Amino acid sequence: MLRIAVQKSGRLSDDSLALIRECGISFISSSLKLKTESTNFPLEILFLRDDDIPGYVADGVADIGIVGQNVLVEEGKQDLSVEELGFSKCRLSLAVPKSAEYNSVKDLEGKNIATSYPNLLQTYLQEQGVTAHIHTISGSVEIAPSIGLADAICDIVSSGSTLISNGLKEVERVFKSQAVLIANQNLSEEKKAILEKLLFRIHAVQRAQRAKYILLNAPNEKVDEIISLLPGAKSPSVLPLAQEGWSSIHSVVNEDDFWEMIERLRDAGAQGILVVPIEKMIL
């Protein structure tokens, strides 16, 4: 049995549990339960505070965990990182009141800055050659300037709406973050084998999220030209249609690449282009 720690609530929790389910792993979760066990995979899920996850994994209480890079680096446990997961992307940013005049990070020299991430902030300020007074608080960082506690804040930003609603403006990006999978460095061989199976499933889900299956019809004399425009996993499949002189072409492409090539495909004679999402992609 492999134990995985995930954040007990919030966006990262939702995204983490969604990934586990997309891997075909079934479990029942409840806001009242601090742990649950999968019914079809040797996995136990622990619901913990995000700040506690790196420590629990390092100490072996949990075997693996999903946590934001910002928390991992703040806790100084980057060596636990196994895999970047690509979701729950956000940034650690500096923000000041909207009314404040701001030209560069040098304007924060000697100022008071409130944050829940003193280590990341201190590293950034040192790199910028700025000395400021850092006030570490555990929550409600955005309110610090309005109550006179600080001149600026350094906090996690996703959309920026929370800053706006508190009369703040983002002025500097300190650190880019996303969800990462971390693991204890002393897993047994049995648990390493389970982790490899889990990673195999995660990779299949990740590849599917970035890819689309496309089908299109084309006159036979245009098939070679259209194939040259389709960078897929391997050579596209070409199947004859009932209508003589026409073929159906099937391929897997990156969604971003597809939108770049769509006009060229149509100009080359492609018709009836169908784009289909992929649930899992095994290479």
Which tens digit of pLDDT belongs to each residue from 255-265? 777 777 888 88
Instruction: Please provide the average confidence, as pLDDT, over all residues in the chain.
Output: 91
Answer yes or no: are the C-beta atoms of 79 and 67 closer than 8 Å: no
**Residues paired with residue 277 on neighbouring β-strands, in sequence order:** 212
Same fold, 2-88+179-187 and 90-177: yes
Nearest to 175 by CA among 68, 58, 53, 51: 68
Q: Which CATH class is domain 211-277?
A: alpha beta
- Please give the pLDDT value at position 114: 97
Question: 176 by DSSP, 3-state: which?
Answer: strand
- Please give the pLDDT value at position 282: 79
Residue 6 pLDDT exceeds 90 = yes
Residues contacting 281, CB < 8 A, separation 6+: 204, 207, 208, 211, 233, 252
| Top-confidence residue, 257 or 273 | 273
pLDDT band at residue 139, thresholds of 50, 70 and 90?
confident
The helix or strand, by DSSP H or E, that contains position 45, with its residue range, turns out to be strand 43-48
pLDDT band at residue 55, thresholds of 50, 70 and 90?
very high
| DSSP 8-state code for residue 152 | E
Residue 283 pLDDT exceeds 80 = no
pLDDT band at residue 69, thresholds of 50, 70 and 90?
very high
Q: How many residues does the chain have?
A: 283
| DSSP 8-state code for residue 269 | T
Residue 223 pLDDT exceeds 70 = yes
Q: Averaged over 31-53, what is the pLDDT?
A: 91
Residue 213 pLDDT exceeds 90 = no
Task: For domain 90-177, give the fold.
Answer: D-Maltodextrin-Binding Protein; domain 2 (3.40.190)
Residue 167 pLDDT exceeds 60 = yes
Q: Averaged over 244-271, what is the pLDDT?
A: 86
pLDDT band at residue 229, thresholds of 50, 70 and 90?
confident
The domains of the chain are located at 2-88+179-187, 90-177, 211-277
pLDDT band at residue 232, thresholds of 50, 70 and 90?
low
Q: How much is the pTM?
A: 0.82
- Does domain 2-88+179-187 fall under CATH 3.40.190.10? My reply is yes
- Please give the pLDDT value at position 276: 87
